[in-house]
Structure 1
Amino acid sequence: MSKDVVEDMRWHKEKCVNDDVIRHPADATAWQEFDKENDWFALDPRNVRLGLASDGFNPFGNMSTSYSMWPVIIFSYNLPPWKCMKEPLLFLPTLISGKNSPGNDIDVYLQPLIN
C-alpha cells in the first residue's frame, strides 16, 4: 500500500468533521455506539473497520436464463469518503455463481471468509 493510503487509514479519527451531518459512516450514531461498547477497539484508529456488500446480477443479460453471479465486495471504512469506494481499494474475496441466487444460504458461501 502507498504511504498516502496508510496515513488515510486514521482519517476517521483524526480528520473527520463532526457537525451533525453524515458524510461518512464515522459520523453515524451506530459508529459511535460501537466505539462506546468496544472501547478497546476504538483506542487505536488503525484498527480496520470493514464493510461487506453483495448484489446479484445475470451475467448474460437474458432474464430467461437461470444463472446468477453474486460478487462479494469488501471495503475499508477507515479511509476518507472520497477514497473508501474507489476501485483500487475494493477487495473481491469471493464470487458466488450458480443457477439460483444464494438467498438465505449466503452465510454458507461467506463462512470461509468469516473464518
Structure 2
Amino acid sequence: MSSQNILLSSTVWRQDHNGFSHQDQGFIDLATNKSPSVTRVYLPPDANTLLVVADECLRSTDCINIIVADKQKHLQFTTMDEAIVHCAKGLGVWRRASNDEGEEPDVVMAPGGDIATQALCLQAIMR
C-alpha cells in the first residue's frame, strides 16, 4: 500500500504568519513515539536533501512519512550527489564543517531540522 506522506510546511521557530498551525513539536513527538518501522520523520537541511527525501517517501510503502520543510529560502549545503549519499546513510559528517581529520572529535555538533546555520556558525567560531 502507498505510504501516507505528510508535509509540514512551516516551523514553530518562524512565527511570521502561520508557523504554529503548520508544525508543532507535539506532532513530531507523537509520531516518534510510534514504531520506526511504520513512522518516519525527515528534517532535510536544504533543497537537494528535500528532493532526495521526497523521492524516497513517494516510493515507500506501508508507512507514514513526515517531512518538515518550510517555505523560506535557505542556504544550499549539499550537491545532489552529496545529498543522495547523506540520505542513504541517514546522517553524515559534512567535511567542509569538520576538522576531525578522521580522528575522534572533541565536540560533535548535530543540528536537527531545516535550519542548520546556527550550528555551522558556532562550529566556525569554535575553530
Q: TM-score, normalised by structure 1?
A: 0.27
Q: TM-score, normalised by structure 2?
A: 0.26
Greater strand content: 1
Larger RCO (CA under 8 A, 6+ residues apart): 2
